[in-house]
Amino acid sequence: MARIALITGGTRGIGAAIARSLKASGCNAAAVYHGNAEKAEAFRRETGIPVFQWDVADFAACAAGLKSAEQYLGGPVEILVNNAGITRDALLHKMTPQQWSEVIATDLTSCFNMCRLSIGAMRERGFGRIINIASINGQKGQFGQTNYSAAKAGVLGFTKALALESAAKGITVNAVAPGYVATDMVAAVPREALARIEAQIPVGRLGQAGEIARLVQFLAADESGFITGATFSINGGQYMI
């Protein structure tokens, strides 16, 4: 039976590449989106991957959305990719409480929401793959991103704690920390700031979404059951730990 996979933020950028790649590997994959219905519909038409709309920052919306997605897919989610994320970049001395809390809610609390709602069925069945998409900026910090760096560093701690709780139940929980990848999010970085960043990437270019998806597909496989609690950096050599 095809494994059921759900990818949040799965209709654009890195998430869309992950959804395509999991589908190509034989999964019964679905994607969650929030704001951009037009792009989501185009993605659905092009890939045949079903899309569902809800706000991953909202626990009740996740509960209702997950229920309808699982009904459509024909069973509980076995592979969960928490990819949805936003930026609200500002220096801390200018950052509003809203810029802080929106990023924490969408980038970190979403992992709690989606995992909390999916983990019970994974535990009962003795199988699960959870892959949380973190960021290089949660590992090293980034000028202008106290909110995002805090959220993504939080994702790394969350991943390790949940990996410990889940290891004996056949569930692996890992984090992937991409560097700067050619997506809408990175395209929104001011040109000067992006030029400064690109100069720090030894590989000499931005990453491609498909280069992140390759690793996620590997971690999602049944055969990857001994890999858990790990953080994988994919950043073109920009930050080596």
| Among 11, 82, 83, 87, interactor with ligand CAA by CB under 6 A | 87
In DSSP terms, which residues pair with 171 in a beta bridge?
A: 128
- Residue 239 known to be catalytic: no
CB-nearer residue toward ligand CAA: 2 or 189: 189
Q: How far apart are CA 211 and CA 117, in angstroms?
A: 29
Cβ proximity to ligand CAA: between 105 and 221 the closer is 105
Instruction: Give the span between the Cα atoms of 213 and 102, in whole angstroms.
Output: 26
Is residue 137 near ligand CAA by the rule CB under 6 A? yes
Q: Within positions 194 to 233, which residues make up the interface with ligand CAA, using CB under 6 A?
A: 196-197
Question: Do residues 161 and 171 make contact, with C-beta atoms less than 8 angstroms apart?
Answer: no
Smallest distance from ligand CAA to CB 140, Å:
10
What's the rounded Cα separation, in Å, for the pair 200 and 88? Answer: 22
Residues 182, 83: Cα–Cα separation, whole Å: 15
Q: C-alpha angle 140/130/39, rounded to 5°?
A: 80
- The contact mask relative to ligand CAA for 143-182 (x = CB under 6 A, - = no) is xxx--x------------------------------xx--
Q: Which residues contact 4 (CB under 8 A, 6 or more apart)?
A: 27, 28, 29, 30, 70, 73, 74, 75, 76, 77, 78, 79
Coil, strand, or helix at residue 52? strand
Per-residue contact string for residues 5-44; x = within reach of ligand CAA by CB under 6 A: ----------------------------------------
Judged by CB under 6 A, which of 135, 139, 146, 217 binds ligand CAA? 135
The gap from C-alpha 150 to its chain's centroid, in whole angstroms, comes to: 16
Which one among 24, 60, 164, 193 touches ligand CAA, defined by CB under 6 A? 193
Told to check if 189 binds ligand CAA by CB under 6 A, we report yes
Size of the residue set binding ligand CAA (CB under 6 A): 22
Q: Which of 150, 51, 45 is nearest to 101 (CA)?
A: 150
Q: Which of 33, 72, 148, 180 is catalytic?
A: 148
Tell me, rounded to whole angstroms, the distance of Cα 117 from its chain centroid: 16
Indicate which single residue of 4, 27, 186, 219 sits in contact with ligand CAA (rule: CB under 6 A).
186
**Residues at the site binding ligand CAA, with contacts judged by CB under 6 A:** 87, 89-91, 94, 135-137, 142-145, 148, 179-180, 185-186, 189-190, 193, 196-197
**Which residues carry out catalysis?**
148
